[in-house]
Amino acid sequence: MSHSRRLLLVNGPNLNLLGIREPDVYGHETLADVERIVADAAADRGYEVRAIQSNHEGVLIDAIHAAREDCAGIVINPGGLTHTSVVLRDALSGVALPVAEVHISNVYEREQFRHFSYVGDVAIVHVIGEGVAGYARATELLIAAITGLAEG
Ligand code: CA2
């Protein structure tokens, strides 16, 4: 498969707890469910997905750098790093791949510190507050954007 038909799915710190803790905020689906949802949405459009979740910022950054070699775009829920991490933002901006930012919860209806995203203006797709189904929509929109970019 050519590098142009693969996406990197990145889930940041604590998202391994999906479906296990705080179902009132994040729902009952697990991280494995999220990874399947994205893989299915991508496969419907002829793309495959490499998925990573880590609680370690440097591991996420290394995975983002590696995507430059063989991925056409990145779907990312940076978790709490959304609101704190210049280095994660720099990694995304540095690889210059199209990025879709996903948040399961509606961050704008939560604490003030969740309203700002360091990733926001690096991403070309934003899906916020649609639950885990939002990952599928973000994947569809990202592939549409990639296709549009390729067609010029
Ligand atoms: O709504 C989202 O997807 C968030 O990115 C989730 C982050 C939070 O810091 C952002 O403000 C919004 C938290 C990820 C932690 O996920 C958990 C899942 C289940 C149980 C505990 C944490």
Beta carbons within 8 Å of 135's beta carbon, 6+ residues apart: 9, 34, 37, 38, 41, 75, 77, 102, 127
What pLDDT was estimated at residue 4? 83
Q: Whose CA is nearest to atom 22 of ligand 1?
A: 14
Residue 93 pLDDT exceeds 80:
yes
Q: Which residues line ligand 1 (CB under 6 A)?
A: 14-15, 17-18, 21-22, 26, 77, 79-80, 82, 103-105, 107, 114
Whether the predicted pLDDT of 143 surpasses 80:
yes
- Cα–Cα distance for residue pair 143/126, rounded to 1 Å: 13
The confidence score (pLDDT) of residue 23 equals 86
* Domains with residue ranges and CATH for the chain: 6-151 (3.40.50.9100)
pLDDT bin (cut points 50, 70, 90) of residue 104 is: very high
